[in-house]
Amino acid sequence: MRHPVSALALEPRGWIQTPNFVLCGAAVAVGGVGMAVSGVSPVLGIVLAIVGVGLLLSGAFRMDPVRSYPPGTPEGDPPATSIWHRLHDAVGMILFLALPAAAVLALIALPELGWKIVSGVVALWLIRTVVAFGVAWKNDSPRTGLVQRSFLVPGLLWTGVVIGL
């Protein structure tokens, strides 16, 4: 509940989390490109492809151990971070900004009223939870990971369904 999903790549079974990010990101990127070239919604497809690239690169660049994770790591943030951690944060920011933007674009671009409503609700939820995640991270909340998951799970489920349209 406390740690972000990216921290799972730091433990002995981290080899599972890294390809999870990379393969999921690649699938979303390919789906977004497919949506863009098929003419369904080129702009939405491009933004979804950006979401996928952000997720893929989040797996390629691992974060450093922080905030007691993995076990044995000191409390708090390290005084300095590696280039890989800084890259992870940068590409993660792409994901966390592009996903709500995609939901807003879907509200505009998708023709069916039902999908407009669903995308609008998802957009509002993603904007709310990305802000909450930032606050939780800054305050080192014991619920930071839970807040992050409340962004990622519905956002990525929505993404998978929209790409499959």
Provide the residue ranges of all domains of the chain, joining segments of one domain with +.
Answer: 5-163
8 Å CB contact between 92 and 58:
yes
Burial of residue 79 (CB within 10 Å: 0-12, 13-18, 19+) is exposed
Kindly report the pTM of this predicted structure: 0.93
Residue whose C-alpha is closest to residue 110's, from 161, 152, 156, 54: 161
From first CA to last CA, the distance across the chain in angstroms is 33
Report the C-alpha gap between 94 and 87 in whole angstroms: 11
In the chain (165 residues long), the average pLDDT of successive 10-residue segments reads 93 91 97 93 96 97 93 91 96 97 96 95 98 96 97 97 91
